Structure 1
Amino acid sequence: MTCFPTPPSHSSLNPPPMCGRYVTVSSIQAVEQRFNVQAKESWKANTNVSHGDHAPVVASDRPKEVQLMQFGFTPGWAKKQYYMINARAEGDKNAENDPSYTGAMGILDKPMFRKAIRSQRCLVVADAFIEGPEREKLSKPYVLYPREGQRPFALAGIWDEWCDPSTDERVRSFAVLTTVSNALTQAVGHHRAPVILDPDREREWLHPDTPLQDVASMLGPWEARQFNAYPISPSIRDPRRNGSHLLQAVGPRIWPEFTYEIHNTIDVFGMGESPSRKRKHASAQNQERQEQKDHSAASPLTWGHQGSLFD
């Protein structure tokens, strides 16, 4: 039996139950180099990856290849598509969304995910992700991105292949795993966070024979200070919209980032600098530092740099 996937239109899908958008704009060459893989097909930059979109992943069945899969997980045994964008690592074990939770990983036993979490894991290629407060959601969105240019990175994912029994269409789909919140996602106002894999453990995540206890050890929160965030326009709520303008900042970063310029000057004032001139010089230096701080805090992240699909 031969099946071919047919991507659904966004209008035919129900909206996701929580914020589930992310960004993938790195060039194909950058993705190949970062993950030591080859791309068999091309894709376009997407600043608003949404449920139903096809996006690049590196999956356990072809760990040396980038595949395009549909964002929105459906298990192979299902009679209909589910479009599950998130698989909550702790499941219903942490109903209060306590960020200090260290208990059992409910995903290991959930019928929806227990097969995939054991042997069908994937790296979801991302450059940033979008979150909003628990109540306002994408009415007050933030883009969260890795500091110091450490992108693309890998969101922890699971995948499966489902065949529509009525049409024989075959769909390979994935979900992003979520975990408890950290200091940054708490600052944004969100109660959970996606699982971001340590680059040193990505191949371990992909290997189908990795012991389950080792898989579970990768499902904790990431170091918050490795990322930062700034607010963007709620225009990103519309999954049909795309483009770098959606990522323009509309406010300051959560954590200020500074770029310092050091100037060495030698001033000669006869027998020495007068107290009034010293005060004037110090005031000018303080003003310059404040201007640099204000610029850094309010300036948007630049996406159109070398290595971006927007170039």
Structure 2
Amino acid sequence: MCGRFILAQRIEKLGERFNVNITDDIVFESAYNIAPGDWTPVIASNAPEQIQFFRFGLTPFWAKKPMYLFNARSEGDRNKTNDPQFNGSKDIINKPAFRKPIRTQRCLVPADAFIEGTTNEGLKQPYVVYLKNKVRPFAFAGIWDQWEDKQENKTILSFSIITTTANKLLQKLPHHRSPVILNQSDELRWLNPDTPLSYITQMLRPFPADLMNAYPIDSKISHPGANGRELIDPAGPPLEPDDQFEVGNHIEKKGFGRRKIR
């Protein structure tokens, strides 16, 4: 699964990276522990030229109450054992909460890295998972929906991050799932509602493990309200050799941004 992620870029950097407009009223603070229920920048198919803020944790339009579905399995009910070799159909297209969004309501979810725990210990044994060569921000494959909160008389736009089988790096944690990270060349097609569904499902694959790495951090990240750059200070060396990594100085070397980014 992917229930926590990091976005510490200046909002202007997101505008440059995703070629979207940044209006003067947008204010965003660096976030080192984005959790379900938090509002975070996305680029969505309903307005692909601008940054919007959606809530992490999708509530389907037909729901009677908030549901906070923060991950959507690409295999749906298939591959219940999370076999990393699974190559069957992408049953997400048939799930009631996701079959409409996966067709026409997709979004890019910008991130600098994500937090993953081990399969058995969860966030008691967390890792920061990042892309090598300072590739950030990148984009998770997201889907979104619009829900009318009748009690509060307001509209909620929310999203899920799509997950797939674990690549070799995630297996090494070990963890049984991996978020779908899009190739930059696929991002516009992902946003386009007219992209054939067969193309969309082909994008739901693990990111190459040799382009990723991870390092352990303290379990205080497990508290949803916690935030601050110190949360992602390394508690040990990375899983794979990384010439750019320096324990104790990783944040400065890797450039996860500044605390205030407007």
Q: Aligning the two structures, in what range does the TM-score lie when normalised by the shorter sequence?
A: over 0.9
1:134 positional shift: 0.8
The residue identity in structure 1 corresponding to 2:257 is S
Higher relative contact order (CA 8 A, sep 6+): 2
Per-residue CA shift, 1:254-280, capped at 9, x if unaligned?
001126xxxxxxxxxxxxxxxxxxxxx
1:170 positional shift: 1.1
1:78 positional shift: 1.1
1:305 positional shift: 6.9
Does residue 78 of structure 2 align to residue 93 of structure 1? yes
Does residue 126 of structure 2 align to residue 177 of structure 1? no
> If each structure's strand is expressed as a fraction of its own residues, which one has the higher value?
2
Select the residue among 250, 257, 266 that pairs with 2:242: 257
Question: Which consecutive residues of structure 2, in runs of 5 or more, have no partner in the other structure?
Answer: none
Name the SS of the counterpart of 1:68 in structure 2.
Answer: strand
1:214, 1:151 → 2: CA distance? 25
Query: Do the aligned partners of 1:60 and 1:208 also contact (CA within 8 Å) in 2?
Result: yes
1:106 positional shift: 1.1
**Residue of structure 2 equivalent to 1:223:** 208
Distance 1:306 1:22, change over 3 A: closer
Name the SS of the counterpart of 2:205 in structure 1.
Answer: coil
**Residue of structure 2 equivalent to 1:148:** 133
Query: Do the aligned partners of 1:228 and 1:254 also contact (CA within 8 Å) in 2?
Result: yes
Question: Which consecutive residues of structure 1, in runs of 5 or more, have no partner in the other structure?
Answer: 1-17, 260-295
Number of positions where the alignment pairs a residue of Structure 1 with one of Structure 2: 258
**After the TM superposition, which of the residue ranges 159-168 and 245-254 deviates more from structure 2?**
159-168
1:298, 1:134 → 2: CA distance? 25
> If each structure's helix is expressed as a fraction of its own residues, which one has the higher value?
1
1:306 positional shift: 6.4
Distance 1:192 1:168, change over 3 A: same
**Residue of structure 2 equivalent to 1:302:** 251
The residue identity in structure 1 corresponding to 2:259 is F
1:116 positional shift: 0.2
Displacement over 3 Å in runs of 4+ = 296-300, 303-307
Select the residue among 98, 101, 107 that pairs with 1:122: 107
Query: Do the aligned partners of 1:88 and 1:178 also contact (CA within 8 Å) in 2?
Result: yes
The residue identity in structure 1 corresponding to 2:188 is R
Distance 1:233 1:159, change over 3 A: same
**Residue of structure 2 equivalent to 1:239:** 224
**Residue of structure 1 equivalent to 2:8:** 25
Distance 1:146 1:303, change over 3 A: farther
Distance 1:303 1:67, change over 3 A: farther
1:164, 1:175 → 2: CA distance? 18
Name the SS of the counterpart of 2:77 in structure 1.
Answer: helix
CA RMSD of aligned residues (A): 1.6
Name the SS of the counterpart of 1:203 in structure 2.
Answer: helix
The residue identity in structure 2 corresponding to 1:28 is I
Query: Do the aligned partners of 2:8 and 2:259 also contact (CA within 8 Å) in 1?
Result: yes
Name the SS of the counterpart of 1:57 in structure 2.
Answer: strand
1:301 positional shift: 2.6
2:256, 2:129 → 1: CA distance? 19
1:52, 1:39 → 2: CA distance? 23
**Residue of structure 2 equivalent to 1:9:** none
Query: Do the aligned partners of 1:244 and 1:303 also contact (CA within 8 Å) in 2?
Result: no
**After the TM superposition, which of the residue ranges 32-41 and 120-129 deviates more from structure 2?**
32-41
TM-score by length of 1: 0.80
1:299 positional shift: 4.5
**Residue of structure 2 equivalent to 1:186:** 171
